[in-house]
Amino acid sequence: MSGWHDALVVVLVMLVLVAVIPVLVGVGQYLLVPVHAFRNHLGKAAPHLPRVVVVVPAWNEAAVLGASIDRLMALEYPAERLRVYVVDDASTDDTPTVVGGKAAQYPGRVVHLRRDQGGQGKAHTLNHGIRHALADDWMEALLIMDADVIYRPDSLRRMTRHLADPDVGAVTAFIREGSARPGPVSRFIGYEYVTAQAAARRAQNVLGAMACLAGGAQLHSRANLEAVGGAIDTTTLAEDTFTTFLTQLDGRSVVFDGDAVVLAEEPDSVRALWKQRVRWARGNVQITRVFRHVWFRRRREHRLGSVSFGLIWFSVYLLPVAMTLATVGLVGLYFASPSTAHDTFQGLWWVALAAYAFVTTTTLLLDRDTARRSWFEGLLFPGAGALLVMLSAAHPDLLTRTVPGWFGLELTESGLRVLTLALYSWSVIAMVLAFLVRWVEVLPGGRWLSRLGLYVVGFGPVLCAITLDAYVKQWRGQAAVWDKTEKTGRVMG
């Protein structure tokens, strides 16, 4: 019996250790960020000003299109080498009027392409514009952007310089949350974008494998577009990631330029965030399956199959699973070997605390503009609940004796058991509470309660819950439709 018991304890400890993998992978990416200062593509970049066609997919974007087009026309880029194709996806608002006005204001430089049949999704809309661009020999590079984003004056020049290297097929920029008055959700997204782009994509540059071109800022050489089939994939919800993979599988590089900054308006409600990210997460589920022959099979032509890139991809893709397995392991250990459970819990959350301190500090230093706007959201990114769990791991008596003692209370044996199990299970509890945070938002007066819940639960656990939701929707075969996020033109100048 003792042998079976010992084996069970070992298995349960291993389940907990699974959760350490994504934490260490995340820290590993951050350790590569300073390496990017020495190992980057700038040595092969050079002043390069190809003739660029900008394709802007637009469905009911009248509120934001005018400002975006004006900013494109004001880019520090030769006017005679830049054209904008606005692909109007059968809009029912004033989009045609706005684009028509801009076409008259900038004759020959702004083109209105109207689709009579709309609603097929972003990829179909993009392909309409790409076909027109490829039909003309004038175009040498093509920039795909969203209707609401604002390019900083030097951003396109910073991107095109990488295409001076014929081995580069595509370039992406740093999309920064740029709302003039960002609310809590937007500020969380702003901080997250630094982690997922400014940090992670620099690390991926170093590794030579890029996970995704930003959908609102992807520049392709003409040769790359033609090589990947002259069209964007329409079978998945992650057309940008699909193209990123195809580019690299065909032997061309994808480069991230963190100095090319693009401002975008992001959702400022939990429900809008949920809608957007479920689409992204479902796209990643589809990509994982479509490119299943790539994972952990390294090839000379590309590094998508490297162990390092595979760990990065699956650490994000399977993070909710890892958190759930860790909870199962800790709860199981609580009943099988309480002392081992206590030591394992402390070890896990000490690692989490060290990673949190390192990643948060680095992120806030990496992008000072975002730090000024979102420092509080950065500190509470894992949630106030997770911070309490970390503190309880660092100081085991904090929640069991110290805090109750402040109020002259003492936990009973059953109360201590419930609290301990809650601490061990927090990762799963937080993901469950994330669904409540979304649900309560639509109730009368629920908006402020949802915001409070977001700070308690944490943005990270909300993203994990969204990924779980995406798993379920994909497994159930729910219709895969491209459902755009509503924009109001709040991007600051």
3-class DSSP state of 477: coil
Q: Which contiguous run of DSSP H or E holds residue 59? A: none
What pLDDT was estimated at residue 492? 56
Task: Give the model's pLDDT for residue 144.
Answer: 95
- Phi and psi torsions of 172, nearest 5°: -130, 160
CA atoms of 315 and 322, how far apart (whole Å): 8
Q: What separation in angstroms does the CA of 312 have from each of 210, 309, 344, 457?
A: 10, 5, 24, 24
**pLDDT of 317:** 94
Whether the Cβ atoms of residue 112 and residue 96 lie closer than 8 Å to each other: yes
End-to-end CA distance of the chain: give it in Å, rounded: 70
Global model pTM greater than 0.85: yes
Q: How far apart are CA 206 and CA 240, in angstroms?
A: 21
- The predicted pLDDT at position 61 comes to 84
The DSSP bridge pattern shows strands 168-177 and 253-264 to be parallel
Please give the backbone phi and psi of residue 89, each rounded to the nearest 5 degrees, phi first.
Answer: -85, 60
Q: How far apart are CA 358 and CA 25, in angstroms?
A: 13
For domain 41-301, the question of CATH label 2.40.50.140 is answered with no
378: Cβ contacts below 8 Å, ≥ 6 apart: 191, 360, 363, 364, 371
Domain limits, the chain: 2-16+316-475, 41-301
Strand 52-58's sheet: what is its strand order?
110-114, 82-88, 52-58, 141-145, 217-221, 168-177, 253-264, 150-151
Concatenated DSSP letters of 287-301: HHHHTTTTTT---SS
Rounded Cα gap, residues 444 and 211, in angstroms: 40
pLDDT recorded at residue 486: 53
Task: Indicate the angle between helix axes 319-336 and 426-440, nearest 10 degrees.
Answer: 130
Length of the chain, in residues: 493
Q: What is the CA radius of gyration of the chain?
A: 24
Q: What is the pLDDT of residue 135?
A: 93
Strands 253-264 and 150-151, bridge-based pairing: antiparallel
pLDDT of 459? 97
Pairwise CA distance, residues 299 & 306, whole Å: 8
* Residue carrying structure tokens 């110290």: 402
Show pLDDT as tens, one digit a residue, over the chain (493 residues).
Answer: 578 888 999 999 999 999 999 999 999 999 999 999 999 999 999 999 999 999 998 888 888 888 889 999 999 999 999 999 999 887 788 888 888 999 999 999 999 988 877 667 788 889 999 999 999 899 999 999 988 889 999 999 999 999 999 999 999 999 999 888 899 999 999 999 999 999 999 999 999 999 999 988 999 999 999 999 999 898 888 999 999 999 999 999 999 999 999 999 888 999 999 999 999 999 999 999 999 999 999 888 899 999 999 999 999 999 999 999 999 999 999 999 999 999 999 999 999 999 999 999 999 999 999 999 999 999 999 999 999 999 999 888 877 777 777 777 788 889 889 999 999 999 999 999 999 999 999 998 899 999 999 999 999 999 999 999 999 999 888 765 555 555 555 555 5
Element (H, E) at 45: none
Of residues 76, 64, 69, 74, the one with CA closest to residue 54:
69
